[in-house]
A = this chain, B = another copy of it.
Amino acid sequence: MESPFGKHILAEYFECGCTFLDSEPAIRNLMLEAASRSGATVVGDIFHHFSPQGVTGVVVVAESHLAIHTWPEFGYASVDLFTCGTRVDPWIGFEYIKKELQSKRCVSKEIARGDMEEEPGSLLEAASG
Contact = CB atoms under 8 A, between A and B. Distances in A.
A78 interface: yes
A58 B58 contact: yes
A22 interface: no
Q: Sort A-B residue pairs by CB-CB distance and give the 9 closest, nearest first.
A: A58-B58, A44-B46, A78-B113, A43-B48, A108-B124, A46-B46, A107-B116, A46-B60, A12-B116
A67 interface: yes
A114 interface: yes
Contacts of A43: 46, 48, 56
Given A106-B128, A109-B111, A110-B124, 7 more contacts: A43-B56, A44-B46, A50-B62, A56-B65, A67-B80, A67-B82, A78-B82
Number of copies: 2
Contacts of A127: 105-107
Nearest to A128: B106
Nearest to A69: B64
* Interface SS of chain A: strand
A111 B64 CA distance: 20
A129 interface: yes
A118 interface: yes
A45 interface: yes
